Amino acid sequence: MRALITAIALLGCSSAIAAPSKPKQIADQSAMKVGYGAIAISVRSEIFLPDKLDVFFLRDGGKIDNDQDVIRFSRSQSVMAIQNGTTEFATKSYLVKPGRYRLVGYGVNCPSVPAPGMVCAVTVSLGSGGAPITRPSRGYEGETPTFVVADGKLTIAGDFVLLHENQMAWTPLPQPQMDILTTRFPNIAKGGDVTVPSSFRLTREVRPHQMFENFGRKF
């Protein structure tokens, strides 16, 4: 499927002149920098991902079409994967400028943030022509999960899960993941509030869906 993608067609997406930036990933506290905080975040997906999934956050006071104000965190299937391998926790840490960040959308193979309530589509080659197909994606407005990044501190942003219903949900990191972070950031103060509306809190087990379960599905 990846090899068939020939062009991107956006349906109701924000300006695509600049892609949201991806913060620098760090391994431990030795990579901390003055003027930055760190966040720990996990991204998972019940849906088998045909391409990279990006989760987008907008800094308070910023503009959604400014690549310096929007940050993204990603998750992908392993190369040549047949089974869905993205339901396991994959907590990573990043350097992020201080501020409050709000979930504004997510998308598979979306070059920019989808507009509220809208999705992204791609055009795939079908021999003599092409046809648009939608990908798992959605833009948000209103009350969504937020986290605060503080200079010199580590924010535990939690786990963001793309559900089979094409909705994003949140759950706290389990204790084993927290223990790993304590080992990697032993002398870094925890800081930064995380606020999650009840409508985004995950209330059931995560169930992997496989490659062909969403074949031809309209998101």
Task: Give the number of C-alpha atoms closer than 13 A to the C-alpha of residue 101, restricted to the C-beta side.
Answer: 28
pLDDT band at residue 11 using 50, 70 and 90 as cut-offs? very low
Which pLDDT score is estimated for 148?
Answer: 97
Position 150 pLDDT exceeds 90: yes
State how far the alpha carbon of 64 is from the alpha carbons of 1, 5, 124, 167, 170, in Å: 30, 26, 28, 20, 22
Work out the end-to-end distance of the chain between its first and last CA atoms, rounded to an integer number of angstroms: 17
Pairing assessment for the beta strands 37-45 and 154-162 based on DSSP bridges:
parallel
C-alpha–C-alpha distance, residues 211 and 86, integer Å: 12
Position 105 pLDDT exceeds 80: yes
C-alpha–C-alpha distance, residues 149 and 127, integer Å: 48
Position 44 pLDDT exceeds 90: yes
